[in-house]
C-alpha cells in the first residue's frame, strides 16, 4: 500500500493508495476542505450532536452537503450523500475528489472520521478506484488529513 506525505505551505496530507496525480493540487484540496468545514456548521444533528460536512468536486464544480437528521432516525442523510446528490441534481456524473470533516480533535482515529459504508458505495457509483477522498484530521486552522484512494476505502466495490 502506497503511503507517503504530501506537504505544502498550509497543508500536510498523508496519501494512502494510488490517487489521481492530476488532482494533486494543494489549492484544490484546500478549497474542498475549506468548504466542507464551512458547510459542517449548517449540519442539523440534534440527536447525535455529530456534525459532518462534505464537499465534492464533480464536473469542475464543487457541491457541498451536511448531515441532516430526523426524529425518525432512518430518514437521516449523511453529509457525503447530501453533497453528491446535489451534484447529480445539477447534472454532474463524475466525482473527481471528495472532502469530509467531522471537526475532530488532533489524534482522533481514522475510523471516527471516515465515510460510512453506505456513503462509500454511493461515492463508488460516480468515482474510480484512484479518486481521492480527503479526510480532515482536525489540526485547527491548518489543513491536514488523509487522502485515500477510493479503492482502498472500498476494495472490490460492487458495480453492475
Rule CB under 6 A: which residues touch ligand THU? 45, 48, 50, 52, 67, 69, 76, 78-80, 115-116, 119
Residue 144 host element (H or E): strand 143-149
- Cell 437528521 found at: 69
Select 2 or 116, whichever has its Cβ closest to ligand THU.
Answer: 116
Catalytic residue among 18, 30, 69, 80: 80
User: Quick one: 17 or 115, whose CB is closer to ligand THU?
Assistant: 115
- The nearest distance, CB 95 to ligand THU, in angstroms, is 15
Taking the complex as a whole, the smallest distance from the CB of residue 8 to ligand THU amounts, in Å, to 26
Residue 95's nearest CA partner among 157, 139, 52, 144 is 157
Distance CA 33, CA 134 (A): 8
What's the closest the beta carbon of residue 93 comes to ligand THU, in angstroms?
A: 21
Residue with cell 496519501: 15
17 CB contacts (<8 Å, ≥6 apart)?
A: 1, 2, 130, 148, 149, 151, 152
Q: Min. distance of Cβ 90 from ligand THU in angstroms?
A: 20
80 catalytic residue (yes or no) = yes
Indicate the residue among 5 and 75 with the shorter CB distance to ligand THU: 75
| Rounded Cα–Cα distance for residues 17 and 34 (Å) | 23
d(CA 96, CA 107) in angstroms, rounded, equals 27
- Residues with a catalytic annotation lie at 80
Amino acid at each position: 500500500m502506497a503511503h507517503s506525505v504530501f506537504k505544502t505551505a498550509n497543508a500536510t496530507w498523508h496519501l494512502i493508495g494510488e490517487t489521481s496525480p492530476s488532482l494533486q493540487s494543494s489549492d484544490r484540496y484546500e478549497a474542498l476542505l475549506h468548504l466542507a468545514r464551512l458547510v459542517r456548521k449548517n449540519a442539523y444533528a440534534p440527536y447525535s450532536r455529530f456534525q459532518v460536512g462534505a464537499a465534492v468536486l464533480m464536473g469542475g464544480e464543487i457541491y457541498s452537503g451536511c448531515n441532516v437528521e430526523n426524529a425518525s432516525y432512518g430518514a437521516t442523510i449523511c453529509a457525503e450523500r447530501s453533497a453528491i446528490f446535489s451534484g447529480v441534481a445539477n447534472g454532474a456524473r463524475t466525482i473527481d475528489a471528495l472532502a469530509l470533516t467531522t471537526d475532530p480533535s488532533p489524534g482522533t482515529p481514522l475510523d471516527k472520521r471516515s465515510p460510512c459504508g453506505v456513503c462509500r458505495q454511493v461515492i463508488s457509483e460516480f468515482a474510480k478506484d484512484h479518486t481521492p477522498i480527503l479526510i480532515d484530521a482536525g489540526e485547527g486552522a491548518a489543513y491536514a488529513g488523509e487522502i485515500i484512494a477510493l479503492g482502498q476505502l472500498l476494495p472490490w466495490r460492487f458495480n453492475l
